[in-house]
Structure formats: C-alpha cells, structure tokens
Amino acid sequence: MGRGPPCPGALPLPRLPILIDMDFLQELGIGPENQGAYNGEWLNCGGELVETKNPATGEVIAKVRQATAAEYEACVGAAHEAFQRWREVPAPKRGEIVRRMGNAMREKKHALGSLISLEMGKILQEGLGEVQEAIDIADFAVGQSRMLYGLSMHSERPGHAMREQWHPLGVVGCITAFNFPMAVWAWNSMLAFICGDAMLWKPSGYVPLCAIGLTNVIRPILEEEGFGALASLVIGPRKGVSENILSDRRIPLVSFTGSTAVGKKVGAEVGGRLGRTILELGGNNAVVVMDDADLDMAIPAILFGAVGTAGQRCTSTRRVLVHEAVAEELEGRLRRAYEQVRIGDPLDETTLCGPLIHEGAVEDMKTALADVRSSGGTFVQEGGPIELDGRLAGGNFVKPVIVWAENDWDVVQRETFAPILYLIRVKDLDDAIAKHNAVPQGLSSSIFTMNMRNAERFLASTGSDCGIANVNIGTSGAEIGGAFGGEKETGGGRESGSDAWKAYMRRQTNTVNYSTDLPLAQGIHFG
C-alpha cells in the first residue's frame, strides 16, 4: 500500500506495515517470554526480563529472561564437556550431523528470514538471503569435514618422517552483532563443529529472538546425538556474560563482530591471557568508478551497497571515488535511482529500505549529517530521520543521503552505520588508490572499469589494501566460498570459506623416528 507516486527529487514516503501471519514465531518456538540460556536444555535464568522491539514500529515483540553468571557457568561447563566427547567423533561423521542442521535450516528458511526482518529490520529478501548464507556454509562445512588436510614433509635425518596435522581447539566463544543475527554465527559454528569444537554464542541484545529461533531449529539434531551443549547460547549483559567469555581460559578462541572501539578491548583482554581472536570490525568501503566504467552495472551495485540493510552492513558502500570525467553523469543516475527506493515495513516485499536498528543509530546519523554540513558537504540527496504518524510512528526510519565530500574530512574517515553515501572526485587511478587506502579501515573494496590494467593494478599489492577487493561488482554481498575479513582497524582473522577452518583448530607437527639411531637435527653431536 503506497501513498502515491514520489515527488520529483524526493524519495517515496515510507510504506505502511502490511498485515502478516505471525505464526512463524510459534513455529520457531518463540513465546511471549523466553529463557536466555541453552546448554542442551533451556535453563531457568535469574537475570532481568528484557523486551525486544520491532525497529519498524517500536512495538514489543517478546521478552527474554537474561542469563546471569550462574547460567553462563552452566553453559560453558556443559559446552566444554560436550567438546571433550565431540572431538573423538570422526570428522566425516561430524560433517553428516552438520548436513542435517543445514537441512533443518532449509526447512525453516522462510520462518527464520521473516524473524530477521521482524526483529532486525532488514527487508525480507535480505533476511531470506542471510538464512541461505547459513545454509550454504553448512553445505561447505560438510565437504570440508573430509578435507582437514595436514602436510607430509621430508626430514633431514635418515629414518625419520615428518608430518603436520590439525586437532580440535575447544570451546569457541562467538559474540555476534545485530546486523547479521544468524549468518555470522553460522560462519563460525558450522566450521567449528566439523573441526571438533563446541560453540558458546552470545548474540547482540537487540536481536535475541533470532538466536533463540535459530537455536530451536538446529538443537533437535544435536540433542538426538547427545550433543545439545555444542550449540550453547547465553543471552545476557556485559557483566556476567560478555566479560566472562573474554577472560575464560576454557575458551581458547573468541570470534567477535562489532565496532572497532569494542574490538580493540576484546583483542586486548583475550590476548592478555594468550587466547586467540577473530575480529570482524568496522568498514569504510569504497567503490572506485573509472572514466571507462560501465555505469549500467555500477549504479545498481552502488545502490545496493549503500542502501541495502539501511547502510548497516560492515561491507556497506560508504564512499564512491569517481573519476571527474564521469562525475556529473554518475551523480544524476544515482539521484534517479535513489528516487525509486521504497522505504517502509521490511516484511512488505515491495520495500527496499527498512529501519535502522534503534533510536541511537538514528541519532548517530543525525550527528554525522551535522558534521557533513559543518564541513561544507554539497547534498545531492537530502535525508535523515523521517517523522511519521500512524502505525510506523515508533519506527527508526531514515531517508538515505548522497553528498559530495572530501576524503580527509573526519566524518568521512569514520564509519557511520547508516545510509550516507559520500561522493569524492578523483583525477586518475593513482589518485583513486591513494584516497581509497587513506582511511583507518580495510574491509571491502571495488573498482568499476573495462580496462584490464586498471583492474589488475587495483588487485595488486600496490592497489587496494582491503581484505576483499572486487572488480565490476560492489562491496557488499560476499559469497561463502571465499574467506571473509579485513585489515587495519577492521581487525584480523578470517571467517567463512577458503582455509578459514584452520582458525578453529590447533596445528601439531609430528616427527617419527623409525630408525635404530638417534641423530639430532642440524647435525648436532651431543655427549
């Protein structure tokens, strides 16, 4: 239900919520009140009863009883015990159980995707895509379970054999952000499970129902095998839960997704006990548009990268470094593309831009826009918080922004989790690469060009300094087959595909002497 055609130069008004079937909550085992700790069974938690709200309306969806330090201890203890048994299960058998979990997610894909849209606010197509990503990494992990390869090496000593093998690591602590409330857990857990590890999941407090719903989908498979605690879940506050994960020596690896500021604290705390971390932190991702770019491809890629998930992806497009020869044409095309974006209820299939996650995110966008104005930005598309009445009065809706800016402005140098797109002119490829790399973050990057030399230069060691670099596709929407992660203040470590599985295991070098002598390495003679 729209409100008429858009005015020239203005985005369509937000669409009213459609009436939807909410049976998917019951289908996923979510009731009016829910427990926030699972370790093979749902525990009776002693923490505060907190509300989770629909960011499109401000209405309460359900309540969750938070875990305390006591429930945390029950969960990590059970996870550790499950790990000690799980590591003895052959890896291909572990893969078979992961396959069944992937199929369970397939069966509940629409319900899980709808829950993501309801609680997080991304549009339904993106919610379904996120669940598909979880399914895909499960499929990937099944194959990987038969390919946990080590190496054989030649010894310098006669009658000796050397090899390298990989062993399970232990309980993996997984602290996830609100913007991908299911996929990031799956990236970590599906690989950790086939590697022989257990998982302890602490989700964002803004999306606890997504964690509860997904746990309810996969736990019957694990419970049937006597390993329910492998997928332990703890929903609770920083004190008693998050802080405990960081300091707990029973958790050798902590995977954290969130802001750079918090990520630095996580790295320091876990590193202080010589634990390992995977840090997926901020992004300030740019698309380079050269003078020979195919703009018919570049415009939709930029639009999805900047407006998808309302600019709340770590891979969202924040900057467009456009060659001055095509700057005016790109501006006009982007403006016309933005005029077609429908803002509104994310469960309405015609919506392209849902709400921000909470009021604080709206305030952050307002602050950033004030900084842009004070810096002298030239707005192509004005935007910001949208005042509404009716059933969307409580929603955190904003209008996406396009603005000409300079790369060295403070507001451009920092990441704002909102749909603000900075257009920045460049003279040539050298200028584009220099400006591209002149930010603290280093996650995702892209170039649009038809010139092979430009493309290869961008991908070379002297080109993009990001963990992800693309040619003729946008910054957002990575496939699970490649390792995901970044450099600089984006953190460190990789998740998902390629050889990311190695992060969840410990390497062991073996030397076997099958001779009758005991020679020392390096030709040393002793005694």
Q: What are the beta bridge partners of residue 232?
A: 200
Quick check: 494 and 500 in contact, CB under 8 A?
A: yes
Angle at 129 between CA 310 and CA 22, to 5 degrees: 85
Query: pLDDT tens digits for 2-23?
Result: 333 333 333 444 444 544 567 9
> Alpha helices, DSSP H only, in 384-462?
410-413, 429-437, 452-459
Q: Is the pLDDT of residue 1 over 70?
A: no
* Number of residues assigned to the chain: 527
Phi, psi at residue 523, to the nearest 5°? 70, 20
pLDDT at position 11, please?
A: 43
| Residue 520 in tokens | 């020392």
- Pick the catalytic residue from 195, 314, 353, 466: 314
The pLDDT of 316-328, averaged and rounded, is: 98
Mean pLDDT of 461-485: 96
Specify whether 314 is catalytic: yes
Percent above pLDDT 70 for the chain: 94
367-382: pLDDT as tens digits: 999 999 999 999 999 9
Residue type, 147: M
For 404-447, the pLDDT digits (tens) are 999 999 999 999 999 999 999 999 999 999 999 999 999 999 99
Task: Tell me the CA distances in angstroms from 447 to 52, 273, 298, 455, one per residue in order.
Answer: 40, 41, 9, 7
Q: In this structure, how many other beta carbons lie within 10 angstroms of the beta carbon of residue 237?
A: 15
pLDDT in tens, 182-197: 999 999 999 999 999 9
HEC string of 119-183 equals HCCCCHHHHHHHHHHHHHHHHHHHHHCCCCCCEEEECCCCCEEEEEEEEECCEEEEECCCCCCCH
- Give catalytic status of residue 280 as yes or no: yes
Q: What is the pLDDT of residues 156-178, one digit of tens each?
A: 999 999 999 999 999 999 999 99
Over residues 116-131, the mean pLDDT reads: 97
Query: Tokens 């470094």 belong to which residue?
Result: 321
Residues 244-257: tens digit of each pLDDT: 999 999 999 999 99
Provide φ and ψ at 58, rounded to 5°.
Answer: 80, 0
Q: What is the per-residue pLDDT for 13?
A: 43
pTM above 0.85, yes or no: yes
The yes-or-no verdict on residue 304 having pLDDT over 70 is yes
Give residue-wise pLDDT tens across range 196-205.
999 999 999 9
Rounded to an integer, what distance in angstroms lies between the CA atom of residue 260 and that of residue 174?
Answer: 16
Instruction: State the DSSP code for 466.
Output: S
Ranges assigned E (strand) in 315-418:
317-323, 378-381, 384-385, 398-399, 401-404
Catalytic residue among 280, 331, 489, 495: 280
For residue 40, what are its two tokens? 């093979």
Residue 388 has pLDDT above 70, yes or no: no
Q: What is the mean pLDDT of residues 278-305?
A: 98
**How many Cα atoms are found within 13 Å in the side-chain-facing hemisphere of 13?**
13
Task: Tell me the mean pLDDT in the region 344-357.
Answer: 92
Specify the higher pLDDT residue, 481 or 395. Answer: 481
Is residue 389 scored above 70 in pLDDT? Answer: no
> pLDDT grade, residue 386 (50/70/90)?
confident
How, if at all, do strands 378-381 and 401-404 pair?
Answer: antiparallel
